[in-house]
């Protein structure tokens, strides 16, 4: 549609109205005389019961003009094809009436069966193929979807557990006082001196460490990508930091390079099963539950590595026979045991089950995840830098007996 007509229709559509008499006259005046059918259709719509002010009439006129242009384009293509074939016929006749074997009597014997050795434009078109770049494939762009498929987003099964103490703080480090021990009271006779208590205080010190991730991307790919490349990069950085913190929370070695994980010596109470016990059983979980209660804590979570979770969920009443302890196979997969939620994560070491009272676990948090973008990064290149940082200040357990780390035997 011509630009001046497009302006008329855009203005009418923006005001949600039909076309004025002057606009109708401009539309009809722009139609070539040979397009009598288009003129007739437009006049019929204008003189119809809805008149010129109807938005439906406006849309009908726009569709008529569109079909008129399609018909005109087809007619031009047919004329051009006929001209090219006429030129090829003339060349063939000039060269002695060369024909394909299918027409031995030569050009003119059967007009509809004419076949020249020189192919026409329509015959050339049949040779254009998308599969080969040189025969047309370069003309067909590769379509890219408007979204990207990320890796499977791992859940954080440590930080999602309710009851864990998250301590936010300012400054370079953070000290959490604790009462380590005290003398016990006793029976005192009438008028006798009361023994003074002697409490012993301690402290858990949290020194923040920083997890960081860095990406860079050319500004061309940021501008031209079919989907939001920035959102993809942000999501990947958040996922990677969360996954690494989750892994270290369970099995980190501590120090300046990682959190001190729950499975490190001294963080919890290690229960190493004897040789032959390659699967943690519900008997072991019940024992751990009781040991936590004996320490004055309340068990509230079961963390399990995937290999041990399979065995716990498939445990039966009589070994390999009888009903499943976790319920029938028609029930949902067991998400609880002994009334405690079961969280499964590959971030735990293999053959490990942890039963814990999460309110006895403390995490220091210096700052949440921060994401920054800079176009000044690598200023000598046309790139943008993306940075994610997360400062977390360690992991501490105020009662090691409240975290029971059960390790199955390797064989």
Work out the average pLDDT over 365-393.
89
Work out the average pLDDT over 278-298.
94
Is the model's pLDDT at 120 over the cut of 60? no
Q: CA 370, CA 64: separation in Å to the nearest integer?
A: 56
322-366 pLDDT tens trace = 777 766 665 666 677 788 888 999 999 999 999 999 999 999 888
**Rg of the chain taking only CA atoms, in angstroms:** 40
Q: What phi and psi values does residue 223 have, to the nearest 5 degrees? A: -85, -35
Instruction: Output the pLDDT for position 194.
Output: 92
Instruction: Output the pLDDT for position 368.
Output: 85
Q: CA 11, CA 335: separation in Å to the nearest integer?
A: 61
Return the number of other C-beta atoms located less than 10 Å from residue 365's C-beta.
18
Report the mean per-residue pLDDT for the chain. 80
Instruction: Output the pLDDT for position 190.
Output: 93
- pLDDT above 90 covers a percentage of the chain that reads 29
Is the model's pLDDT at 102 over the cut of 50? no
pTM score, whole prediction: 0.60
Q: Which of 397, 396, 307, 289 is nearest to 345 (CA)?
A: 307
pLDDT bucket at 77, cuts 50 / 70 / 90: confident
Is the model's pLDDT at 404 over the cut of 60? yes
Is the model's pLDDT at 10 over the cut of 90? no
| 365-to-174, 211, 381, 404 alpha-carbon distances in Å | 9, 12, 36, 24
Sequence-distant (≥ 6) Cβ neighbours of residue 271 within 8 angstroms: 284, 287, 288, 404, 405, 406, 407
Instruction: Output the pLDDT for position 105.
Output: 47
Look up residue 56 and give its two tokens: 């439906």
Look up residue 151 and give its two tokens: 């890796």
Q: What phi and psi values does residue 363 have, to the nearest 5 degrees? A: -130, 130
pLDDT bucket at 296, cuts 50 / 70 / 90: very high
Beta strands at 336-337 and 269-272: parallel, antiparallel or unpaired = unpaired
Q: CA 143, CA 353: separation in Å to the nearest integer?
A: 48
Q: CA 302, CA 306: separation in Å to the nearest integer?
A: 12
Lowest mean pLDDT among 280-289, 321-330, 374-383, 387-396: 321-330
126-169 pLDDT tens trace = 566 677 777 777 777 777 766 666 665 666 788 888 889 988 88
Let me know: does 406 contact 273? Beta carbons within 8 Å. Answer: yes
pLDDT bucket at 104, cuts 50 / 70 / 90: very low
Look up residue 346 and give its two tokens: 């590959």
| 97-to-82, 86, 88, 106, 120 alpha-carbon distances in Å | 19, 13, 11, 6, 15
């Amino acid at each position: 549609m011509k630009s001046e007509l497009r302006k008329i229709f855009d203005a009418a559509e923006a005001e949600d109205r039909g076309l004025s008499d002057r606009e109708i006259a401009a539309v009809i005046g722009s139609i070539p005389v040979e397009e009598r059918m288009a003129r007739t259709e437009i006049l019929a719509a204008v003189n119809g019961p809805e008149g010129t002010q109807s938005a439906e009439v406006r849309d009908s006129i726009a569709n008529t003009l569109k079909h008129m242009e399609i018909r005109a384009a087809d007619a031009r293509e047919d004329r051009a094809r006929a001209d090219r074939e006429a030129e090829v016929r003339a060349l063939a006749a000039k060269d002695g009436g060369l024909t394909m074997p299918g027409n031995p009597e030569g050009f003119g014997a059967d007009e509809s069966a004419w076949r020249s050795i020189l192919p026409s434009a329509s015959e050339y078109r049949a040779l254009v193929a998308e599969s080969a770049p040189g025969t047309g494939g370069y003309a067909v762009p590769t379509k890219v979807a408007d979204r990207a498929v990320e890796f499977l987003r791992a859940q954080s099964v440590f930080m999602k557990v309710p009851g864990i103490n998250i301590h936010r703080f300012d400054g370079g480090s953070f000290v959490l006082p604790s009462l380590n021990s005290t003398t016990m009271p006793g029976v005192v006779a009438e008028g006798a001196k009361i023994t003074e208590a002697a409490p012993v205080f301690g402290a858990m010190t949290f020194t923040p460490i920083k997890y960081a991730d860095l990406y860079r991307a050319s500004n061309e790919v940021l501008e031209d990508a079919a989907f939001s490349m920035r959102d993809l990069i942000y999501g990947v950085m958040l996922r990677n930091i969360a996954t690494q913190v989750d892994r270290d929370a369970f099995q980190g070695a501590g120090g300046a390079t990682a959190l001190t994980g729950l499975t490190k010596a001294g963080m919890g109470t290690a229960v190493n099963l004897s040789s032959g016990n390659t699967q943690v059983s519900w008997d072991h979980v019940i024992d751990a539950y009781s040991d936590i209660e004996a320490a004055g804590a309340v068990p509230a979570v079961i963390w399990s590595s995937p290999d041990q979770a399979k065995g716990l969920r498939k445990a039966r009443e009589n070994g390999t026979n009888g009903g499943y302890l976790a319920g029938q196979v028609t029930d949902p997969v067991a998400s609880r045991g002994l009334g405690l939620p079961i969280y499964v994560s590959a971030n735990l070491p293999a053959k490990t089950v942890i039963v814990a009272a999460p309110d006895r676990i403390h995490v220091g948090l210096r700052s949440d995840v921060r994401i920054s973008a800079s176009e000044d990064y690598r200023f000598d290149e046309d790139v943008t830098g993306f940075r994610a940082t997360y400062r977390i200040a360690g992991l501490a357990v105020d009662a090691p007996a409240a975290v029971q780390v059960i390790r199955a035997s390797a064989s």
